[in-house]
Structure 1
Amino acid sequence: MKNIFSKTDSEEFIDRINQLGVDSQPLWGKMSVDQMLAHCNVMYEMVYENIHPKPNAFLRFILKSFVKSKVVNETSYSRNIRTAPQFIITGDRDFQIEKERLIRYITKTQELGTNEFEGKESLSFGRLTSKEWSNMFAKHLDHHFSQFNV
C-alpha cells in the first residue's frame, strides 16, 4: 500500500492524475473522468472543508462496526463496489478544476504529514491512526486511477 504522507508516493499519485485527459474513459463503472475526480475530492472535503454533515450516532455506530475495517485496511477495493450517498456525483464537473483541487489536497495532506493525522477524527469512523488515514486515501485513489487505466 502506498503511503500518502510520502513525497515520492504522493508525487506518483499526482503523476497518475496528470495522465488523465478530459476524454479518458473508465474500464468499469458509470462515472466520467470529471465525476471521478470530484468523487475523489469528497474524501478530502470531509477532512478539510466543513460542508459534509457528520452522520448521526446510529449511522456512525454502523459505519465504525461494519464498514471502517474494509475502508482502512490494505486490501484493494473490488470493481463496482457501492458508494456512500455523499460520494455520488451527478452531472458534469469541470475537469481542470477538479483535477487541480485533487492535486492540492494530495499535496496538502502529504505536507501536513503523519503527525497531523495521528488520532485525527474522521466524520464517519471516529479517530483513526495515520496509517489508517493513509490506507484510506491511497486505496481510494488507486482504485479510481486504475478504473481509468492510469
Structure 2
Amino acid sequence: MSWKNLFNAKECQATIDRINTLTKDTPHLWGKMNVAQMLAHCNVTYELVYTDKHPKPKGFQKFMIKLFAKNVVVGPKPYKRNTRTAPMFLIADQREFDTEKQRLIDYLKKTQQLGEAHFEGKESHAFGALSAKEWNTLFSKHLDHHLQQFGV
C-alpha cells in the first residue's frame, strides 16, 4: 500500500486538513480512546523523534522490538484494528483536545519542513537507522490508521 508522503507540502497539508475536521466530540468507530487521547497518542511518535521524554530501549529489549515490531511499523501493510501498542503510547488520562491537536499539526509541519534529506538514515528510537521512506511510512500509516478510527 502507498501512504501519503508527509514530506510533500500538499500531501502533508491534506493530512492536516483531515485533522482539522476533528472536533472534541468526534466519536471513535473502534477502540477505547477518545479523540483527545488519540491525538496525544499520535504525538508520542513525534516526541520519540524530537524530545528525550521517553527512555530508549537497550540490549535485548531493543533487539526484540526490531525483530518483531519494525516490519509491522515501517512495512506497507495497514495496521489491524485494536492491535496492542507499546506502553509509552498508552494514553489513559484525559487530554485537552485543542492542545493535542495543535501539537500534532506543529509536529507535522516541522517534519515536512525538515524534509526527506533530514530523515534519510536517521536513527529511530527503537528500530535503528531508517530510510526516509520508512520514516514516512511510520508517520503516515500511523496517522491514517487513527484518523480512520475517528471517521476522517
Among candidates 77, 82, 96, match of residue 79 of structure 2:
77
The gaps in structure 2 that reach 5 residues or longer are none
Per the alignment, residue 68 of structure 1 pairs with 70
Give structure 1 regions of 4+ aligned residues with deviation exceeding 2 angstroms: none
**Shift of the alpha carbon at 1:55?**
0.5
Task: Work out the CA distance in 2 between the residues paired with 1:129 and 1:32.
Answer: 32
Alignment partner of 1:93 is 2:95: yes
- 1:27 correspondence with 2:26: no
Letter in 2 for 1:121: E
Distance 1:70 1:91 in 2: 27
Task: Provide the C-alpha distance between the structure 2 equivalents of 1:116 and 1:32, rounded to a whole number of angstroms.
Answer: 33
| Cα separation, 2, equivalents of 1:131 and 1:57 | 26
CA–CA separation in structure 2 for the residues paired with 1:62 and 1:91: 28
Distance 1:10 1:87 in 2: 23
User: How many residue pairs end up in the alignment?
Assistant: 150
Aligned partner of 1:112 in structure 2 is 114
Match of 1:2 in 2: 4
**Matching residue's letter, 1:51:** K
Deviation at 1:75, TM superposition (A): 1.0
2:42 is equivalent to residue 40 of structure 1: yes
- Structure 1-normalised TM-score? 0.98
The offset of 1:66, in angstroms, is: 1.4
For residue 140 of structure 1, what is the aligned residue in structure 2? 142
How big is each residue's C-alpha offset from its partner over 1:32-83, in whole Å with a ceiling of 9 and x where there is no partner?
Answer: 0000000000000000011110012111101111110111011111111111
Kindly provide the amino acid, as one letter, of the partner of residue 48 in structure 2.
Answer: M
Q: Distance in 2 between matches of 1:4 and 1:31?
A: 24
The TM-score with structure 2 as length reference comes to: 0.97
